[in-house]
Structure 1
Amino acid sequence: MKLSDNRIMQEDVERASGADFIEWDKLKGKTILVTGATGLIGGQVVMTLLNANAERSLGLKVIAAVRNKEKAEKLFKYADKSALEFLVQDVTSPYNYDGGIDFIIHGASITSSKAFVDTPVETIFTALDGTKNLLELAKAKQVEGMVYLSSLEVYGVVDLSMESVDEKTFGSIDPMSVRSSYSEGKRIVETLCTSYAHEYGVPVKVARLCQSMGAGVGYNDGRVFAQFARAIIEGTDIVLMTDGSTERNYCYISDAVTGILTVLLKGDTAQAYNIANKDTLISIRGMAEMLIENYPESGTKLVFNIVEDVTKLGYNPKVKMNLATDKAESLGWKAETGLKEMFDRLIESMKIDR
């Protein structure tokens, strides 16, 4: 079914909803609440569920929890309204919903690096209070499953010599750095999820996501991959304010969505799962150089304008973060989209929405 005017997004949704390794039959006749439903990942989770519902006759009901109904109506303008319901409220307020809920996917979060340093208190309490409200709802509704969308940032700064980082490997986070509002917030919320699982039997799992890109990324998005893509589109230079030595891996949006659904339906309660494409490890500088090489017609060049204190910009300390994905892959999931294709599709999608 048509869900987007953006050809790339439509293809991504169809790709994710066509994944045969997801146990779709477990969702037949179920009601699923998705928070952060107008965000990059939440929006495509909702669309994927709606498309799977239509293609597989699942009899699903999707509740999209949003703050801005007008934005939601625009994003989901083609959705089957008999299968979609909007729940308009802020995640930091307790949830009151009269009907039954079988599954919860909790993705509402502050995600702007600049906000982490400009509004760190709000960053912390959006994570903590918001998740507490969803866990209380899950407990009250006796849900069959819940997944909390966490981040690779819970790992902190790990030893740069480490080849990969599994779910039991942690580095340091400086609690006196205001930038830690996001990473420390994610850490305590993961512990809160585990606590609700052990004390109240809430079947909650954690999906630790790396940076995910694809259709739905706003043209003016401030994340580094979006800045690089925008430079290629506009033919401007890529300007790095660090030496670009930080290394991490990435995940395409449709792979992230199938990973989340796999963890929801197959993951073990009170367990965390890395969701990333393990073959995409690259430095920030290397990513810029790759794009410049792949898009020579843009005329884009790499320029350095290194600032003394990057933490004021919301940047992380230098890290090497190669997430191990064996645990998620043991559930039958695997990332399929490589880095070049990620950027090809991201750039094409951004051109469409420009």
Structure 2
Amino acid sequence: MGLGASRKTALVTGAAGFLGSHLVDRLLAEGFEVVGIDNLMTGDLGNLEKAGRDRHFHFQMGDVREPIHVYAELVFNFACPASPVHYQSDPHATLTTSVLGAQRLVEMARGRRCAIVHASTSEVYGDPTVHPQPESYWGNVNPIGERACYDEGKRCAETLLNDARRAWGVDVRIARIFNTYGPRMAFDDGRVVSNFVVQALRGKPLTLFGDGQQTRSFCYVDDLVEGIVRMSRLERLDGPVNLGNPEEFTIRQLAEEVVKQIGGDLAIQHAPLPSDDPRQRKPDIGRARELLGFSPRVRLAEGLGATIEDFRRRLSERDGRG
């Protein structure tokens, strides 16, 4: 935005979370007035330390399941626990945050004609039988499994938002986000990158679920946020778009790269594969390339280096306070 131009206002729900806080920083850098809402169920106000020094950022404690009274021309819905440890700890809150949160934002958008950029997830594909996963794939999800509160909650939110677009013309853009990592990930979120980095930094064996041959595709947070911002700039977007890095790694390869960067011997402790854990996960990003010009730039080794340094600093600070 040029100097002197009026600032547009963006609302970010889940603003204190890993992804939400990075998005807040990017929107402030883009010249937005930003309102952040979070109930801190899994978010951390420390993630908003940089944003809090900007007079154009305004934080509100709030829950997306309740009516939202915020003026905004653009809404980014990132409110929901996103790691298995967090979303399984209170499955009712997880599902209702996805579904009722989407309903509240539709109510807001209908009254104020604002656009909604919604953070969906690759988990809508479940344990996929199609590889890589295109947006046209309907998924393979266990509707009563331990992960269903998140998987089905996100699928239902997509249904609700798409119906609002068809019925009332609500401007909805849905991003299906694949595994994303980077600075500010929670220590205890149970995600494989944070698990491995914390264990390696503390000199502990790395926990490998199953045989370690299951695959994931890891997208660095800056690349993901770039894709989200590009989605928001389109005049119109119908249908979901996969956002992620299509470069595929086994979990064992990830463990080896973490140990290589931190140093030491690769000590492994095996554990049973969690229920309904996907065996393969890789996005087909053809649609994102075509519509957004989206192409992840940060390679895994580079992104892990920045992530490890962030974890090392925060662990040192926490241990020092302890």
Does the aligned pair in 1 maintain the 2:16–2:47 contact within 8 Å? Answer: no
Aligned to 2:311: 350
Residue aligned with 1:29, SS: coil
Q: 1:107 to 1:192 in 2, by over 3 A?
A: same
Q: Is it true that 1:120 corresponds to 2:91 in the alignment? A: yes
5+ long unaligned stretches in structure 2: 316-322
Does the aligned pair in 2 maintain the 1:50–1:80 contact within 8 Å? Answer: no
Q: Is it true that 1:30 corresponds to 2:4 in the alignment? A: no
The offset of 1:78, in angstroms, is: 5.6
Residue aligned with 1:321, SS: coil
- List per-residue Cα deviations over 1:7-40 (Å, max 9, x = no partner): xxxxxxxxxxxxxxxxx67x96211000000000
Q: Is it true that 1:90 corresponds to 2:50 in the alignment? A: no
Task: Give the length in aligned residue pairs.
Answer: 311
Q: What CA distance in whole angstroms lies between the structure 2 residues aligned with 1:263 and 1:77?
A: 24
Q: What CA distance in whole angstroms lies between the structure 1 residues aligned with 2:144 and 2:188?
A: 31
Q: 1:74 to 1:296 in 2, by over 3 A?
A: closer
Structure 2 residue identity aligned to 1:300: L
The offset of 1:351, in angstroms, is: 0.8
Residue aligned with 1:187, SS: helix
Partner residue of 1:39 out of 17, 41, 44: 17
The offset of 1:232, in angstroms, is: 2.2
Aligned to 1:3: none
Q: Is it true that 1:151 corresponds to 2:121 in the alignment? A: yes
Does the aligned pair in 2 maintain the 1:250–1:276 contact within 8 Å? Answer: yes
- List per-residue Cα deviations over 1:260-295 (Å, max 9, x = no partner): 11111127433211111112x112122213333x23
Partner residue of 1:251 out of 219, 223, 242: 219
- List per-residue Cα deviations over 1:61-108 (Å, max 9, x = no partner): 11111225x9548723564543112232111111123xx311000000
Aligned to 1:13: none
Partner residue of 1:341 out of 284, 291, 302: 302
Aligned to 1:324: 284
Structure 2 residue identity aligned to 1:65: I
Aligned to 2:26: 48
TM-score, normalised by the number of residues in structure 2: 0.89
RMSD of aligned residue pairs (Cα, Å): 2.4
Residue aligned with 2:11, SS: strand
Aligned to 1:295: 261
- List per-residue Cα deviations over 1:91-130 (Å, max 9, x = no partner): 1111123xx3110000000223134444222221111011
Q: What CA distance in whole angstroms lies between the structure 2 residues aligned with 1:192 and 1:333?
A: 26
Is the deviation greater in 32-41 or in 87-96? 87-96
Q: What CA distance in whole angstroms lies between the structure 2 residues aligned with 1:226 and 1:74?
A: 16
Give the 5 Å matches for 1:157-172: 157-159=127-129, 162-172=130-140
Q: 1:78 to 1:289 in 2, by over 3 A?
A: closer
Q: Is it true that 1:135 corresponds to 2:106 in the alignment? A: yes
Structure 2 residue identity aligned to 1:87: Q
Q: What CA distance in whole angstroms lies between the structure 2 residues aligned with 1:219 and 1:348?
A: 13
- List per-residue Cα deviations over 1:35-72 (Å, max 9, x = no partner): 0000001101111111232xxxxxx311111225x954
Does the aligned pair in 2 maintain the 1:205–1:267 contact within 8 Å? Answer: no
Aligned to 1:21: none
Q: Which has the higher contact order (CA 8 A, sep 6+)?
A: 1
Residue aligned with 2:80, SS: coil
Structure 2 residue identity aligned to 1:266: L
Aligned to 1:12: none
Residue aligned with 2:102, SS: helix
Q: What CA distance in whole angstroms lies between the structure 1 residues aligned with 2:134 and 2:51?
A: 40
5+ long unaligned stretches in structure 1: 1-23, 54-59
Partner residue of 2:184 out of 195, 216, 222: 216
- List per-residue Cα deviations over 1:155-196 (Å, max 9, x = no partner): 11222xx44211111331121223211111111111111011
Q: What CA distance in whole angstroms lies between the structure 1 residues aligned with 2:79 and 2:237?
A: 20
Q: What CA distance in whole angstroms lies between the structure 1 residues aligned with 2:47 and 2:298?
A: 28
